[in-house]
Amino acid sequence: VRTAAVIPAAGRGVRLGPGAPKALRALNGTPMLVHAVRAMAASRAVSLVVVVAPSDGATEVRRLLDAHPLAESVAEKTEVVVVPGGQTRQESVRLGLAALPEDVTVVLVHDAARPLVPVDVVDAVAGAVRAGAPAVVPALPLADTVKQVEPRPGGEPEPVVGTPERARLRAVQTPQGFDRATLVEAHERVELAGEGATDDAGMVERIGRDVVVVPGHEEAFKVTRPLDLVLAEAVLARRRA
Ligand code: CTP
Ligand code: MG
Decide if 174 contacts 126 (C-beta within 8 A): no
Ligand 2 midpoint to CA 224 (Å)? 9
Residue 142 CA neighbour count, 13 Å, CB half: 13
Q: What's the CA gap between 117 and 52, in Å, rounded?
A: 18
Cis previous bond, 175, omega within 30: yes
Residue 26 pLDDT more than 90?
Answer: yes
User: Average pLDDT of 33-52?
Assistant: 98
- Residue 53 CB partners (closer than 8 Å, separation 6+): 9, 10, 60, 61, 62, 82, 83, 84, 85
H or E element at residue 48: strand 46-53
Is the shortest distance between the CB of 112 and ligand 1 below 6 Å? yes
Whether residue 88 has its Cβ less than 6 Å from ligand 1: yes
- Answer whether 0.80 is exceeded by the pTM: yes
**pLDDT at 1 (0 to 100):** 86
What was the ipTM of the complex prediction?
Answer: 0.99
From the CA of 23, which ligand is nearest? 1
Cα–ligand 2 centroid distance for 11 (angstroms): 6
All structural domains of the chain:
2-139+171-240 (3.90.550.10)
- Tell me if 111 CB under 6 Å of ligand 1: yes
Task: Among 129-133, 186-190, 193-197, name the one with the lowest average pLDDT.
Answer: 193-197
Name residues whose C-beta falls within 8 Å of residue 164's C-beta, 6 or more positions apart in sequence: 146, 148
How confident is the model over 221-232, as a mean pLDDT? Answer: 98
Q: How confident is the model at residue 190 (pLDDT cuts 50, 70, 90)?
A: confident
Task: Give the chain's length.
Answer: 241
Residue 144 binned pLDDT confidence (cut-offs 50, 70, 90): very high
Q: How far is the CA of 12 from the centre of ligand 2 (A)?
A: 8
pLDDT digits (tens, 9 = 90+) for 44-75: 999 999 999 999 999 999 999 999 999 999 99
Secondary structure (DSSP) of 164-188:
--GGG-EEE-S-EEEEHHHHHHHHH
The gap between the terminal CA atoms of the chain, to the nearest Å, is 37
Task: Find, among 114, 125, 91, the residue nearest to 197 by Cα.
Answer: 91
